[in-house]
Amino acid sequence: MKISKVIRDLSNRAGDWLRGTGGESDVVISSRIRLARNLEGFPFLPRLEEEAAQEVVTRLTTCIERSLAVPDSIVCDLREMPSLDRLLLVERHLISRELANGDDPRSVIFSRDEALSLMINEEDHLRIQVLKQGLELEVLLEKARDIDDRIEKVVRFSYSPKLGYLTSCPTNTGTGMRLSVMLHLPALVFSKEIERVFQAVNSMNLTVRGLYGEGTQASGDFYQVSNQVTLGKSEEDILEDVRRAVPRIVKAERDVREALVSESRTMIEDKVWRALGMLRSARTIPSEEAMEFLSIVRLGAHVGILPDLDVVTVNELFLLVQPGHVQNLQGRTLKAAERDQVRAELIRSRLVV
């Protein structure tokens, strides 16, 4: 299948990780593990010349195919992809913004269900990413280890018996593992208790980032909680740190939701129904406003105000209303006003009464 056809198909649906099921799915959207790895005998990316960067792409692509780590895989040469297609892959969390905007030879290999993504020549030679819906940390770690082991049977990674896996950024040295959980926290944001949660998370050596990771802002009340330290910690240590923190955040969000519905039900119902009315009637809507209203509507579905609303549809819309998806649906670059009109029409078609 041609890559252009693959991108068109992606723009019409959400990945399995955004289905809204799995553990603690009313608050936890998905869990993700990324492993940073570098080929032995090659400089790190900042000192990698173009010819060597191309060799890294070729060698890793061949090794990944031999390892059978990504069944039914799709391979994308990012230098040959239009910027709009790269943006769509960013929005789907299949690649990072850094990889999308890089200049060197670089590529991504991902599974059709989007649960696996292997980025080549991002910050490190290889970033192995495993995504799963809900809170499924042990299963996620087992899958990431399996993929890592399969690839390492056919290629040698830079490794120090003392330090662990060597990485371009010292903060990733050691296990090279970043474990993150994406959470939907509208009640904590609305009650202005989100800063208290941030402080508690930071005290546990974890960090909070926006919807698209480091350096991005929260959108639609989505936040990512992840580990900050890899050196000197085992994979089990990192998993335990996150496993201790996330249930506390989930409980805090649920407690505030319950209090809001109990103490201010009319006000919450008004916000939810107004948001749903706007989404079902707007003829033009910017992405940030759409994300805000979808967040309120999703909250309403989970607290019983909108019991008949399909949460899976709402979850999918969080992704499909993004600029790259809206433009790919039309097959061309759109001006902001055009995007807002197409987005509104898309939302109306999905949230039919």
Q: Where are the domains of the chain?
A: 3-258, 264-350
Output the pLDDT for position 223: 93
Q: What is the pLDDT of residue 215?
A: 47
| Four-way CATH pick for 3-258: 3.40.50.300, 3.40.225.10, 3.30.590.10, 3.50.50.60 | 3.30.590.10
Residue 228 confidence (pLDDT) = 84
Q: What is the C-alpha separation between 72 and 82, in angstroms, rounded?
A: 23
CA dist 44 → 115, 130, 202, 255, 293 (Å): 27, 23, 30, 46, 43
**Whole-number pLDDT of residue 198:** 87
What whole-number distance in Å separates Cα of residue 40 and Cα of residue 190?
A: 49
Determine the Cα–Cα distance for residues 94 and 117; give it in Å rounded to an integer.
6
How far, in Å, CA of 203 to CA of 181, rounded?
Answer: 17
Consecutive sets of 10 residues in the chain, 353 residues long: mean pLDDT of each? 72 73 86 96 93 97 91 90 93 94 94 93 97 91 96 96 93 93 95 90 87 61 90 90 93 96 96 97 97 97 94 92 92 95 97 80
d(CA 229, CA 29): 23
Tokens 């790190």 correspond to 44
Q: What DSSP assignment string belongs to 202-263?
A: HHTTEEEEBTTBTT---BTTEEEEEES--TT--HHHHHHHHHHHHHHHHHHHHHHHHHHHHH
**Amino acid 17: pLDDT:** 73
Provide the pLDDT for residue 217.
56
pLDDT number for residue 166 = 96
